[in-house]
A and B are shown apart, each in its own frame.
Chain A
Amino acid sequence: MNWPLFAAIDAGDTTGGVLRLIFPDQPSLLLRLGWSVAIVGIVFMGMVSVVGFLGIWAERKVAGRIQHRHGPNRVGPIGILQSLADGIKLVGKEDLAPRGADRWLFRLAPYLAFAPVFAAFLAIPFSPLLVFEPTLSAGVFWMIAILSVEVIGVILAGWASNNKWSTYGAMREACQLISYEIPLGLSILTVVVAAGTLNLIELTHLQLGGANHWLIFHQPFVAMAFGVFFVASLASNKRAPFDLPESESELVAGYHTEYSGLRFSLFYLAEYNAMFVMAAIMSVLFLGGWDDPFGFLSRWQASIAADRLSLELILLNLSAAGVFVFKTCLLIFVQMWVRWTLPRPRIDQVLHVCFKVLMPLSLAMLLGSAVWELLVTDSSLMQKLTQWTLLGVGVVIVGLLGLMLLQAFAQGRGAKQRLVEPSKAGA
């Protein structure tokens, strides 16, 4: 029996799977079970906490930089252990449930919000071999589906708290998430029409060999879909400017107002890991997965025999995973940048944007993408021209944004020096 989720372990007709390289013979049931438990327990759990901790630290650092202050800088070098200290503090806090709350649901809700995000890590292809589930034919769809379970945890948290602000937060969350799932799904469909597959491994393989093969530069409609997906992913992760469910000026802290201690930190872990998963989906769908922009890694991969374990293979996989995580972190940084720059709209404006702007736009994109695939063949001059033009436009946009960042960074430096100088003069 080849159960899809365990296909990598089943050593069947799969292309990936580290286990098969380590144990070339058919591994026994116990070994397979132990292997999967070890992967899930050690690798994914470790990864989820590292992403959470570093994400929260980076968020505070970025916020500090944007607001011309230092951010956390006491615990460890440049404050990098701040989240660890916070985590220890949170673990030590009392686990409270408010009076009148439905205790059972109140306790259950954080886990319901956290578990789906954890499960979504299973299908991410970090590198040619570092993927737990290579044969999931409904890959992207499955990830979006498992992420959509998170909303139940949030709604129950708000409801079980027996607090009207929490309940308002949960209601907003519900309508925001259900609404933004539609543009999210439609923009994925736009890419899928261009690529012809839902499997994340196949999607990566389509884009190997340099930035001009990336799907975002494949069609103008897919490039638009990237924008729509980015906005919708902000909304479905409850990130500012769409953080209505937890807007502190209106609802205290929204659905997690009443939570303390470990359960509170679970919500945070869920939020930052959902950001990571969304950014990972974006880099697989649009930005070429684990391949670098110049195609070095894919050429290297083509020259290595993948059927036995060698030092070169391990090196390739590690550097591919590095490139993948770098792309993902870049996207996470942009999400943070947006959060600390833009003001928050009202809930009716949020829904207006979803139903009257993004939805017609994404429907038009889907139609356009389908027509484009019918009319323009992959080897035609038109296709090549589009790819290189879009690549040029992309490089210009990214370059301008980078310049803006550098300039702001330099300005911040100057301001800090000006702040320091008078005190020096006084002393």
Chain B
Amino acid sequence: MQIILFYTFAALTLIGAIGVVASSNIVRAAVQLLVALLGVAGLYFLLGAEFLAAAQLVIYVGGTLVLIIFGVMLTARASLKLLQPTRTERALAILSTAILLASLITAIVTTRFAQIEPVAHNAYLVRSIGQALLGDYLLPFELASVLLLAVMIGAAYLAKKRAPISREATR
């Protein structure tokens, strides 16, 4: 069962990830990203992190991705010409990524990790996460909340509509 589920979710993730790279239409890329995010949420379930899977759905899919699609819609009038990279750029990008991927996989395959028998299902998962957040990780937790406040103010200020200054000049 676990093997079937792993390969299903891994396939979802990979289809989504490759789709994001391959699609030239930005809205379709967003949908492919959705597929990848759902696949990753499934993988979290397999790894016994159901709280994280739910957080992934509610924050990433319900929040970040909606923001991204929103952004795509609001900037839809922009011309999509000139947005393709040149052939040299693409070749260079693929080459460097391939080198990185090859070295990563070599490193992963050759390393021997000190593994233990995984804990199948933690019935007190949410409780442990809560205790960790308000215990060992209290400072990062508070910092994250301050950061979110700063981000909220900053984003609201930045996105405030102002008169366009140099649209004529750049045309």
Which residues of A come within 8 Å of B, CB atoms?
1-7, 12-13, 29, 32-33, 102, 104-105, 108, 112, 135-138, 141-142, 144-146, 148-149, 151-152, 155-156, 159-160, 167, 170-171, 174, 177-178, 181, 197-198
Name B65-92 residues within 8 Å CB distance of A: 65-66, 69-70, 73
Known: A12-B120, A181-B62; 20 extra A-B contacts, CB below 8 A, are A1-B2, A4-B45, A4-B50, A4-B121, A102-B27, A112-B34, A137-B51, A137-B122, A137-B126, A141-B51, A144-B54, A145-B62, A146-B57, A148-B58, A149-B57, A155-B66, A159-B27, A178-B62, A178-B66, A181-B58
Query: When A145-B58, A174-B66 are in contact, do A136 and B50 touch as well, CB less than 8 Å?
Result: yes
- How far is B51's CA from A142's CA once the two chains are assembled, in angstroms? 7
Using known A-B contacts A142-B54, A159-B27, A174-B70, determine if residue A152 contacts B126 with beta carbons closer than 8 Å: no
**Contacts A3-B46, A152-B61; A138 near B126 (Cβ below 8 A):** yes
> Does A29 lie within 8 Å of B1, measured CB to CB?
yes
Between A104, A135, A137, the greatest number of chain B beta carbons within 10 A of the residue's beta carbon is seen for A137
* Bound complex: CA A5 to CA B8 (Å): 15
Residues of A within 8 A of B38 (CB): 149
Complex-state Cα separation, A142 to B122, whole angstroms: 16
Interface size, chain B (Cβ < 8 Å): 35
Q: Inside 8 A of A177's CB, which chain B residues have their CB?
A: 62, 66
29 A-B pairs with CB atoms under 8 Å apart are A1-B2, A1-B120, A12-B120, A102-B28, A104-B28, A105-B27, A105-B31, A137-B126, A138-B125, A141-B51, A141-B54, A141-B126, A142-B57, A145-B58, A145-B62, A146-B54, A146-B57, A149-B38, A151-B62, A152-B65, A155-B69, A156-B27, A170-B73, A174-B66, A174-B69, A174-B70, A177-B62, A181-B58, A198-B126
Q: Output the least CB separation between B90 and chain A (Å).
A: 24
Given A138-B126, A144-B58: A2 and B120 interface contact (C-beta under 8 Å)? yes
Report how far A392 CA is from B107 CA in the complex, Å: 68
Q: List residues of chain B with CB within 8 A of the CB of A136.
A: 50
B63 at the interface (CB under 8 A from A): yes
- Contacts A142-B50, A149-B62, A151-B62 given; indicate if A3 touches B2 (C-beta within 8 A): yes
Contact B31 A149 (CB under 8 A): no
* B123 → A minimal CB distance (Å): 6
Please state if A159 and B73 are interface contacts (CB–CB under 8 Å): yes
Chain B residue at smallest Cβ distance from A185:
B58
Q: For A197, what are the chain B residues with a Cβ–Cβ distance below 8 Å?
A: 126
Q: What's the least CB distance linking A360 to chain B, in Å?
A: 16
Given contacts A141-B54, A142-B54, contact A171 B1 (CB under 8 A): no
Interface string of B100-132 (1 = CB under 8 A from A): 000000000000000000001111111000000
Output the least CB separation between A364 and chain B (Å): 18
A144 to B5, CA, bound (A): 23
Chain B stretch 46-64: residues in CB contact (< 8 A) with chain A: 46, 48, 50-51, 53-58, 61-63
Distance of A145 Cα from B42 Cα, bound (Å)? 13
Determine the distance from Cα of A1 to Cα of B57 in the docked complex, in whole angstroms. Answer: 23
Q: Can you name the residue of chain A whose Cβ is closest to the Cβ of B118?
A: A1
Closest 3 CB pairs of A and B: A148-B62, A145-B57, A145-B58
Q: Which residue of A lies closest to B55 (CB)?
A: A145
